[in-house]
Structure 1
Amino acid sequence: MSQKIKAPNSKAGSGFLWIIVAILAIAAVVVFLVVRNNTGGNQLAAEMPQEDVNFTVEREGNSVVLASQDLKADAPVVEIFEDFSCPHCAGLAEADHEDSLQALNEGKVKIKFNFLNFLDGEATGSSTRGAAVALAVAETGNAKAFWNAHTAFLTNQTEVARKWDYEEFGQALQAYDLDQSVIDSISKGEVQDAVLPVVKANADDLTEREGSVSSPLVYADGKRVELKKGSDNKVQSWVPDVVK
């Protein structure tokens, strides 16, 4: 007796197709979860800025110094005191970003960042973490990594500087050409102890100059620069008034 072949659209055939679809759907979910888990850190890194720079970075005492190798003889030396949790510092970083990048690249200014953590109060918190990570990156001598990390920490302050833990900072910094030992040290929070005497010294410096600690404060060749505000009541770039 010959066996009857069922049509593809029979109930048995439809059931088989649904099983295949279900298996493929499950496989897709599994692949998605694996990829997401394996690239979670890379996602943070993928979102980091990648501006090219034409200047160097180094630690000089309690400051992080940015300057072109072709720095002009009459270029002003600008000191910026900032706290990574300070919203006004974030506003200044956004306002002067393009101007200061251009002036640095053209050798028209030397900038010294002096980190503070007074907004942490008596304990260590987001101000300390931001300063510790930024200092650790600066000490590598990788100017591109420092500039872009500093930009991301402050211009995305509410989501980055105020919220990220050391592990998240380490994951994000994989975006740059940094030794894995540096990344590991940041991820484990091992960089924190090194920044504590730095932020204290900067706070003491400001107290001697101003009688108190606040941020942001900008000095050009040792003289206080009065930061202006626009019609929108937001702080404006100091660069046009200082760099000629």
Structure 2
Amino acid sequence: MPGSLYGGVNQKKPGNDDRTRSARERLREQREADRAREKRKRTLIAAVAVVAVLGIAAGVGALVSSTGQDKDKSEQSSKAAVAPKGATGEGDVVIPEGRPAAKATLTVYEDFRCPGCGGFEAQFHDTIRDLQDKGQLKSEYHLVTIIDGNMGGTGSLNAANAAACAQDADKFPDYHDLLYKNQPDEREDAFADKGHLIKLAGQVKGLDTPAFQKCVNDGAHDGWVKKSNDAFGKSSFHSTPTVLLDGKNIYADQSNPLTPDKLKKMVADASKK
């Protein structure tokens, strides 16, 4: 019976349309939930991938760093201060010439690129060799790399190493003199070319051997040359050539320049003591 005028309205029971709408809403909600889960899954996978990549990169970086450190250590080890045969003096940085019993000692700090050193050798070479041959004078050579430091390049270092290699072969005096006879302009770093240094060695009988070539190419005495140069840097001397006779600087005073005759007299006086 229909409701009265003052009665409540009867509730309508859900029909097919209501049920269809509810099903669609549930399907839509399920799809949205599925999409949200898929998005979270992709985000998680991407995050894991990033962490993995960073982990690999860190591992590679550590490996490269370790390899680099190992290489640096290896290079430092290979450039250890290996003194040439017969080196003497404090730290074995001296290459001696002449008879050990000679009373007078000439100490020479030289750089094979230094033009002043070339001038000294040109003026005093014959006198020094003559005094050495007579047993009146022994010489102590300190090889330094001051021009490399001032002008750049590696000619001082490479030439000094090659001279040390010649010392290993008992050919230092001849090769030392040959380098000065073929000294390039200090601005032309010709001695940086190890092939050139080896080619010059062909002019010294018996020097250009596989052992000498390897010594030059490997820079076998580079560490020793640097040690010699460091010792010079810590001394009270600041230029090349520096020439001492029995510890006294005899070449610095250009107002009273040294001459071959003066050197002979100084050596003779020292021999009388």
TM-score w.r.t. the length of structure 1 is: 0.62
Determine which structure has the larger strand proportion and give its number.
Answer: 1
Deviations 1:12-42 (A, max 9, x none): xxxxxxxxxxxxxxxxxxxxxxxxxxxxxxx
1:136 Cα deviation after fit: 1.6
Partner of 1:91: 119
RMSD, matched Cα: 3.0
**DSSP 3-state at the match of 1:176:** coil
For 1:191, the equivalent position in structure 2 comes to 220
- What secondary structure does 1:59 align onto? coil
State the SS of the aligned residue for 1:111: strand
Question: Which residue is 1:137 aligned to?
Answer: 166
Mapped pair 1:103 → 2:128 = no
Aligned residue for 1:218? 243
Aligned counterpart, 1:48: none
Residue 67 (structure 1) aligned with residue 98 (structure 2): yes
Structure 1 or 2, whichever has the larger Rg, is: 2
SS of the residue corresponding to residue 235 of structure 2 reads: helix
Aligned residue for 1:18? Answer: none
Matched-pair contact (CA < 8 Å) for 1:115–1:202: no
Q: What does residue range 116-131 of structure 1 map to in structure 2 within 5 Å? A: 116-121=144-149, 124-131=153-160
* Structure 1: gaps (5+ residues): 1-56
Contact 1:227 1:236 in 2 (8 A): no
Identity of aligned residues (%): 18
Q: Does the 8 Å CA contact 2:98/2:138 hold for their aligned counterparts?
A: yes
Q: Which runs of 4+ in 1 moved over 4 A?
A: 159-162, 227-230
CA distance, structure 2, for counterparts of residue 220 and residue 228 of structure 1? 14
Listed as ranges, the matches of 1:1-244 within 5 Å are 58-60=86-88, 61-68=92-99, 71-72=101-102, 75-121=103-149, 124-140=153-169, 142=170, 145-158=171-184, 162-164=189-191, 165-174=193-202, 175-178=204-207, 180-191=209-220, 193-204=222-233, 207-210=234-237, 213-226=238-251, 236-237=259-260, 239-244=263-268
Assess, with a 3 A threshold, how the Cα gap between structure 1 residues 85 and 181 changes in structure 2: closer, same or farther: same
Contact 1:79 1:113 survives alignment (8 Å) = yes
3-state SS in 2 of match to 1:97: helix
Specify whether residues 114 and 182 from structure 1 end up closer, same or farther in structure 2 by C-alpha distance, changes over 3 A only: same
Aligned residues: 176
Instruction: Provide the rounded CA distance (Å) in 2 between the counterparts of 1:177 and 1:110.
Output: 25
What SS is found at the alignment partner of 2:243?
strand
Tell me which protein shows more helix as a share of its residues: 2
Secondary structure of the structure 1 residue equivalent to 2:190: coil
